[in-house]
Amino acid sequence: MTKLWSSDRPEFTERLAKLAGQTTYRTPNNGGTGKTADHLPDAHAIATALSFSRRGPDDVGPDVAYCWVLQTDAYRQKVVRKLSAALRCHEFRDARGFRLTAAEAAWDAMVWNRSSARPADAPRFYEQMLMVAISTLHSAAWDSLAEAERRYTRAA
């Protein structure tokens, strides 16, 4: 399968690290030893930063962003289930059994940067459904980050 999506995780990670109060850019100081003001684990700082962007109980954008930047399957089932339900549009109505497969493949493509094999009996529009699922995950993550930045700067 050809990669038609962007894997611009470095920029995403840098912006999220900045929002979480850290950055991936380091300069040596006094022999290269540094002091940290807090002992909050990175995963907790990222979750806290993304909590600014949650728009309600059904919003999975912060969950997608969290899993993408930390490369974890912590919210995989929740997100894949919601994404599969979101793929129930009129164009993919005939692909009832393949929506979950496409959502799983989209998750693997985005979070783990690996492609899944196309099912043998998949309909002709399976690739379109997969690209829609991947772009939906990307949009959810980037929108969540942008919303977290907006709300954080408004609160400051």
Question: Who has greater pLDDT, 82 or 32?
Answer: 82
In the 3-class helix/strand/coil scheme, how is 44-81 assigned residue by residue?
A: HHHHHHHHHHCCCCCCCHHHHHHHHHHCCCCCHHHHHH
* Euclidean distance between CA atoms 146 and 156, whole angstroms: 16
Record the pTM: 0.82
Identify the pLDDT of residue 44: 87
Q: What's the whole-number mean pLDDT along residues 48-72? A: 92
Instruction: Determine contact, residues 145/15, Cβ cutoff 8 Å.
Output: yes
How many other CB atoms are there within 10 angstroms of residue 149's CB atom? 17
pLDDT digits (tens, 9 = 90+) for 100-154: 999 999 999 999 999 889 899 888 889 999 999 999 999 999 999 999 999 888 8
Instruction: Determine contact, residues 12/144, Cβ cutoff 8 Å.
Output: no
Identify the pLDDT of residue 92: 76
HSE of 149 in the Cβ direction (CA atoms, 13 Å)?
13
Question: Who has greater pLDDT, 111 or 155?
Answer: 111
* Euclidean distance between CA atoms 101 and 130, whole angstroms: 9
Confidence check: pLDDT of 32 > 70: no
Domain spans in the chain, listed from the N-terminal domain onward: 10-20+40-155
Angle of helix 9-19 relative to helix 126-155, nearest 10 degrees, comes to: 30
